[in-house]
A = this chain, B = another copy of it.
Amino acid sequence: MDAGTRIEQALQGAVTRADVAGCPPGLAAAMRHAVFPRGARVRPRLCLAVAAACGDDEPALSDAAAISIELLHCASLVHDDLPCFDNADTRRGRPSVHRSFGEPLAVLAGDALIVLAFQTLARVVHQPQRLALLVTTVSRSVGVPFGIVAGQAWECENQVDTVHYHRSKTGALFAAAATAGAAAAGANGEPWRVVGETIGEAYQVADDIRDAAGDAEEIGKPTGRDAALGRPNLVAELGLVAVCRLDQLIADAIAAIPACSGAADLKLLILNEAKRLLPPKLAQHAA
């Protein structure tokens, strides 16, 4: 089964847990809206790719790790879109969760998705040692001091440390995706952290470029929001130097891949993914 299918099936299985009598139907619908239809699923695909490179001897655990990270990503999008943050009306080309279901259910759907990430991990019961590592890795990437929630909280400070902001808000979950993929397959996750962090940084640079130069229709959310909201944005700081930076980051990520049975395949996969990071027009322009 290909990675994309594994991810969608596992996400369906997780979200379906809310579809039972006694669970408020509005909450279940809001959670489903937040997770489907699929986004790029960049993080869980990275997680499964690293697991595959490390042998993937416990696919159920790899799947759980991969989607736990995607569920946390979806939760962060739901909360980031709230009126008190980005006040975004749309996400992935559709109304955001709070626009569709109201603010209370958006807050709760985000909360429930965070918890669902850990419920999903804990369901894989036959590898308790690996599970403990995964709960540590995944929770660290979301919480304090350096997870995505901490990254988002930098937007509430008067003085923003741009490096910590990006490393926490985007890098942490990518680092966790790579580390957790290795850990799910019984490998040492730590050498993979830098691979995930570097890919995360590449993704952030690409996102900033798309936000500044992209086309709203192409990426399915309003663009120019960073500028409108006065948020830190690498393009604003560095101009189109960012496009070269992106290429360098991809090269760095590939160079950082630890020795493993699937290194060559993983390298190809990352190069193919990198091609999709820029809007077509800009990619042509840069080439």
Q: Is the CB of B143 within 8 A of A115?
A: yes
Write out the residue numbers on chain B whose beta carbons fall within 8 Å of the beta carbon of A82. Answer: 107
**Secondary structure type dominating chain A contacts:** helix
Q: Is the CB of B140 within 8 A of A22?
A: no
Q: Is the CB of B119 within 8 A of A143?
A: yes
The residue in A102, A123, A149 that gathers the most chain B C-beta atoms within 10 A of its C-beta is: A149
The residue in A26, A27, A123, A164 that gathers the most chain B C-beta atoms within 10 A of its C-beta is: A27
Is the CB of A100 closer than 8 A to any CB of chain B?
A: no
Q: How far is the CA of A161 from the CA of B21 in the complex (A)?
A: 11
Q: Is the CB of B105 within 8 A of A149?
A: no
Nearest CB on B from A97, distance (A)? 12
Q: Is the CB of A143 within 8 A of B24?
A: no
Is the CB of A185 closer than 8 A to any CB of chain B?
A: no
Copy number in the complex reads: 2
Q: How far is the CA of A155 from the CA of B104 in the complex (A)?
A: 9
Q: How far is the CA of A188 from the CA of B82 in the complex (A)?
A: 42
> Which of A46-54, A125-133, A196-204 contacts the other chain?
A125-133
Cross-chain contact of A153 among B27, B122, B161, B168 (Cβ < 8 A): B27
Q: How far is the CA of A72 from the CA of B169 in the complex (A)?
A: 22
List residues of chain A with CB under 8 Å of any chain B CB. Answer: 17-18, 20, 22-28, 31, 75, 79, 82, 84-85, 102-105, 107-108, 110-112, 114-116, 118-119, 121-123, 125, 128-129, 131-132, 135-136, 139-140, 142-147, 149-150, 152-157, 161, 164, 168
